[in-house]
Structure 1
Amino acid sequence: MSVKGVAVAVMPGSAQTWLKEAVYRRNCGLDPSRYRAELKRWHCLLKGRACDLDHPRSMTDKINWLKLYDSTPLKGRLADKYLVREWVRATVGEDYLVPLLGVWDSPEQIDFDALPDSFVLKATHGSGWNIVVRDKRELDVAGCRRRLEGWLKRRQAMKGGFEMHYEFCEPRIVCEQYLQDASGGLRDYKFMTFDGVVQFAFTVDRGPDGVCRGTYLPDWTRAPFEYICESRCSGDVPAPERLDEMLAVAERLGKGFACARIDFYEVDGRVYFGEITFTDADGLAHFRPACYNLEFGDRLVLPSKKPFKGVML
């Protein structure tokens, strides 16, 4: 069992929160020359094995390599949930964008009275910093502002995984239209691409019992493997009605990037872009059976090393 597994088993939630905060604050004070060593330490603590950054072969090790040696300003702009909209508009068209209700530099600027009954708030510069509001009447506005303010002060890269491209994002808040599909929630369709070629896809459903994922080949036959991260495997999910369109758009958006995960929603017969992610699951996902990690690692061609803000990490 990894150190993380032991900690989750024996430490109360408050202690785990304290430990995560201590790691974050420590990382914020590190000299960049330490990032590589600390990334390897973090990976070993969470996964129970070393991460090979010298000669990476598996897909997940290569994703961790990309964090240090391919974190460019372009990736930061496209990981930014506001700035990416212009790129999507120019590359595949306005129709794929979830309608935008507002963008602000501070939560104090948000006029909640002017927003519709349902909406989604997101911090632009990280992962998972979202507030889904299904009924505004039940929203604790003061608490919402505090959460957003806290997120704006945080650096995604320093949480432990050193996803350095997030350092190029611009911390802001966006508000998007609330979407719901036929599942009663909002299912994610996520397409893993290597230089624009779709390798496999997986669905993500979030419910009261947690997160469920199912993995599929590009033709939507169930894959002979599962690609999972802190989630349960779902039963078979029907192919999206507009699968061919999703595949085509994923190929266009993923072209030119060694590894990019392109996310979509399908609502009322329309395809919406969700986000583009360059370091899926912070490099912590795993394959079952594990041999597919090497199979897809062989397909993932790493680019030449690039310095981060002038420093070769």
Structure 2
Amino acid sequence: MISKAVSSRTVDRLVIDLTRMWCFARHPFVCWHTYKDSRVLPDPAMPVTYVDKFLWRKLFDRNPLFTLACDKLASKAYALSVCPELKTAKVLWSGSDAALIPPDVLLGNVVVKANHGCRWNIMVRNGEVDKARLHRRTSRWVRRRFGKRFGEWAYKDTVRCILVEEMLMDRGEPIGTEYKFHVSGEVTEYVYAASRNNQGEERKGHYQRDGRYISPSSDSGAAWVEAPLPKTFSRMCEIAEKLSAPFDRMRCDLYALNGEIFFSEFAVYPLSGKGITNVELRDLSRHSWDLRQSWFLSAPQKGWRRLYASALRRRLEETQPEAGSGDVRQLRSAVA
């Protein structure tokens, strides 16, 4: 019996080693990009760190719902279907050619963005916009497939189009703070709140699920400050967890405005999987994110991926504590 168990572990290690070689040979640039950011040799076949888990997600976890999450229009519809109480910024127009945007749509305060990308946005204040420049930029967006370079495959099948949204305004200015809920296993790990004033000064902070501020490291800079949270914060946590329920890990972005909660977007690959600077949060994410809940390890796989999925699942059962275990609870309290 012992000999059989040892033999099984040996086979699993061999399968994982061969898979690791495949990752480096088949996706050298994506692996290099991960190494360049972390300066640590990644392990995409037996991922343990936060960075490696995102690399693994890029290479293996082809959850079809990731495409919905990367599609701004589709994710809005999903969010409203799951939580009808939510609000979203009103979509005033969508299409593949920005030259067809009706002139009156660009009057006032709106945001022009790509449905299929990240940070492809143009802010229009009081109708002031360089239409020639807008057409050039949006045409490039429509021609490009976002995320291809860094292995963010879920954008591949997202509908390529341009949309114009109303700009959420708070007392005459664009809404100042966005709350980014990092959710693993239907539980909020932490919340990142970021705001920028009219002078371009940024203020940001991390918070626990119960609203307690997470102190930054000593060299984080003056931008990290504690700020009052909205009265709807606890409800925002519940909504983010409900919206993120189909995923093993997801970042869900929300706004709070005049007592109402607005859905912004999902982030399947936040910052393309770069590491978190806060050491305690990085450890918390590493332990809280249970890959056994992922699509790849939950759905039947074919060919050599089936062998790899079985080997990885067995190794994780041996090495990874259960999500919500004492180790994870201890880490949650450590970031207070």
- For residues 54 and 33 of structure 1, do their structure 2 counterparts lie closer, same or farther at Cα, with a shift above 3 Å needed? closer
Displacement of 1:158 after TM fit? 2.1
Displacement of 1:223 after TM fit? 1.5
Which residue is 1:105 aligned to? 96
Displacement of 1:56 after TM fit? 1.4
Distance 1:140 1:177 in 2: 18
1:152-207: CA deviation from partner (whole Å, max 9, x where unpaired) = 11122223x21111112111111111112369443110100013211100111234
Amino acid at match of 1:143: R
1:190 and 1:264 in contact (8 A); partners too: yes
Which residue is 2:193 aligned to? 203
Distance 1:120 1:182 in 2: 18
Q: Which piece of structure 1 moves more, 259-268 or 178-187?
A: 178-187
Which residue is 1:20 aligned to? none
Distance 1:268 1:131 in 2: 25
2:116 and 2:160 in contact (8 A); partners too: yes
**Structure of larger gyration radius:** 2
Which residue is 1:236 aligned to? 226
- For residues 183 and 102 of structure 1, do their structure 2 counterparts lie closer, same or farther at Cα, with a shift above 3 Å needed? closer
- For residues 294 and 132 of structure 1, do their structure 2 counterparts lie closer, same or farther at Cα, with a shift above 3 Å needed? same
Q: Verify: 1:72 aligned to 2:72, yes or no.
A: no
Amino acid at match of 1:254: S
Q: How does 1:1-12 map to 2 (within 5 A)?
A: none
1:195 and 1:255 in contact (8 A); partners too: yes
- Return the match for 1:181 from 150, 170, 181: 170
Distance 1:183 1:114 in 2: 19
* Higher RCO structure (Cα 8 Å, ≥6 apart): 1
Displacement of 1:311 after TM fit? 10
- Return the match for 2:214 from 219, 223, 231: 223
1:125 and 1:156 in contact (8 A); partners too: yes
Distance 1:152 1:37 in 2: 27
Amino acid at match of 1:180: M
Structure 1 unaligned segments of length 5 or more: list them: 1-31
Which residue is 1:252 aligned to? 242
Which residue is 1:45 aligned to? 36
1:199-222: CA deviation from partner (whole Å, max 9, x where unpaired) = 100111234446443111011111
- Return the match for 1:142 from 105, 126, 132: 132
1:37-91: CA deviation from partner (whole Å, max 9, x where unpaired) = 2211112223322222122112232122112222333211221011112211211
- For residues 33 and 101 of structure 1, do their structure 2 counterparts lie closer, same or farther at Cα, with a shift above 3 Å needed? farther
Which residue is 2:9 aligned to? none
Amino acid at match of 1:60: V
Which residue is 1:158 aligned to? 148
Which residue is 2:108 aligned to? 117
Distance 2:64 2:25 in 1: 21
Displacement of 1:112 after TM fit? 2.5
- Return the match for 2:255 from 233, 247, 265: 265
Displacement of 1:291 after TM fit? 4.8
- For residues 278 and 241 of structure 1, do their structure 2 counterparts lie closer, same or farther at Cα, with a shift above 3 Å needed? same
Structure 2 unaligned segments of length 5 or more: list them: 1-22, 309-336
Which residue is 2:274 aligned to? 284
Displacement of 1:273 after TM fit? 0.2
Q: Verify: 1:62 aligned to 2:59, yes or no.
A: no
Distance 1:178 1:104 in 2: 18
